[in-house]
Amino acid sequence: MGTCSNQIALLHLLVISPSFAFEIKEATVNQIQEAFMRKELTSRDLVEFYLREINALNLLLRAVLEVNPDALDQADRADKEREATYGECAEGLHGIPVLLKGKIATRDRLNTTAGSLALLGSVVPRDAGVVWRLRAAEAIILGKASMSEWAEFRSLEAPMGWIAIGGQPKNPYVLSANPSGSSTGSAISAATYLATVTLSTETDGSIITPSSANSVVGIKPTLGLTSRAGVILISPRQDTVGPICRTVLDAVFVLDEIVGFDQRDKKATIGASKFIPAGGYKQFLKAEGLRGKRLGILREPFFNFSGIFVLAQTFETHFKTLRQKGAILVDNIEISNINVILDVRESGEGLALLYEFKEALNAYLSELLVSPVRTLAYVIAFKIKYLALEKLKEYGQDIFILAESLNRSNSSQVRRAISNLKELSRNGIEKVMREKKLDAILAPANTPVYTILAIGGYPGITVLAGYDEEGVPFGICFGGLRGSEPNLIEIAYSFEQATHIRRPPTFKS
């Protein structure tokens, strides 16, 4: 361990962390609510704990963009409500601190920037739809988490997680390892106890892969199950909002609070609302949830470990565990045209995303009450004019420039690309799951299995699978068809309870 990380870790362990009768760090949401009921803990205690942890670790990890100056007031209000109702409101996310990805809008004193200096000081007209739901549940908005600038959609040059506001985040297990993106800060913060739970977004892998790389759980919901209103989008056709947490249980607690119809995202949420089960998703947290489930193993091209014995051995061990828990494994399933699906040019995904991003960003910027920029063209010009402000290594704007170059003359090409993506999904994952009668597919979470899910708006859950020879975490992804969250939750929770792999961050150099 290097000198810097060693000093911070020592301070973290010996000085910063307070002594509570109740151990906060690995506590789940329901355990925290039980501690509230027993009066062993208050929401103020919880917020103060996370603020101390952020103060101790964020200089090293760069996971949090800013903390909410009103978080303690929100905590005090939650404590008073709990006292007034004799603890009856101690359920769900009431009084629980939530950290939001930096592209999810909040109508408060926090910035919503997608990590860009161009949006510092902008003012949103209202809370994002999912934030409205969190506030209705009396959750505490703790702050904004770091993320890859513009969700890694500005330049192909920038490393995973890099952001102009704050710099390069670090993987808390091996500081030199890839922390992944674009929901980098959310995953790091969940892993290192900088919040109870976090909320993030995904276009193509941005929940699934950082969860894998940082030893946490991520749920990418079915498209439209959660509102995207008030989120800085890349693609309304692919983007979704979901939780990143330390456990499947916590992620499900968050999911239950944020799903549902939103008039401001009507087209997506009205169709997906039919998938929400009566009684919510907590009922599917079953330790024996793997029993009878048919799981398809996507060997090619996702299990090519190139001689990495630990990963290969670990997954084979997990397959045995899945069978022991009653799952039926269907090995070596093949998805038609997988090589086309994984090629953003040949599939058409790249063109579609570029076109959709320009339209979505311009629409978002046009609604801001205050903003230094109003269109993608202005964002590009801002970067050129104020380059010196970043005072960090600068990266290009090749993706932005490509997106800006597209216009209505490209619309027929885009329609063909989107039609092709739908066809690839119908003849790919949908066909194989029907033919093999599968409840889910599985593959390593750090592979582009996420693209199969992304292009069709399908759900996926990442659960920790292990650590490699250097101590870097890696996950397993369970994916399914639209609306299959109940099955995926049963599978993921049962797997997690059977394995109990997670361990605290090591901060190795």
Among all residues, which ones are annotated catalytic? 101, 182, 206
Report how far residue 37's alpha carbon sits from residue 35's, in angstroms, rounded to the nearest whole number. Answer: 5
Print burial letters for 322-360: b (CB count within 10 Å at least 16), e (below 16): beebebbeeeebebeebeebbebeebbbebbbbbbbbbb
Cis bond upstream, residue 182 (ω within 30): yes
Report how far residue 387's alpha carbon sits from residue 405's, in angstroms, rounded to the nearest whole number. Answer: 22
Q: Coil, strand, or helix at residue 147?
A: coil
Contact 265, 224 (CB under 8 A): yes
Show the tokens assigned to 353.
Answer: 């995303």
DSSP bridge partners of 148: none
For helices 349-367 and 398-405, angle between their N-to-C axes, nearest 10 degrees: 90
Report how far residue 143's alpha carbon sits from residue 71's, in angstroms, rounded to the nearest whole number. Answer: 8
Contact 185, 65 (CB under 8 A): yes
Q: Coil, strand, or helix at residue 461?
A: strand
DSSP bridge partners of 101: 145
- The CA distances from residue 96 to 45, 141, 335, 366, 483, in Å, are 11, 9, 41, 33, 27
Q: What one-letter code names the amino acid at 258?
A: I
Residue closest to 338 by CA, chosen among 449, 443, 435, 235: 449
Report how far residue 365's alpha carbon sits from residue 371's, in angstroms, rounded to the nearest whole number. Answer: 7
Report how far residue 199's alpha carbon sits from residue 217's, in angstroms, rounded to the nearest whole number. Answer: 11
Contact 291, 323 (CB under 8 A): no
Residues sharing a CB contact under 8 Å with residue 359, sequence separation 6 or more, in sequence order: none
Report how far residue 354's alpha carbon sits from residue 115's, in angstroms, rounded to the nearest whole number. Answer: 19
Residue closest to 441 by CA, chosen among 475, 493, 466, 477: 477
Contact 103, 201 (CB under 8 A): yes
Residues sharing a CB contact under 8 Å with residue 20, sequence separation 6 or more, in sequence order: 40, 41, 45, 49
Phi, psi of 314 (to 5 degrees): -60, -45
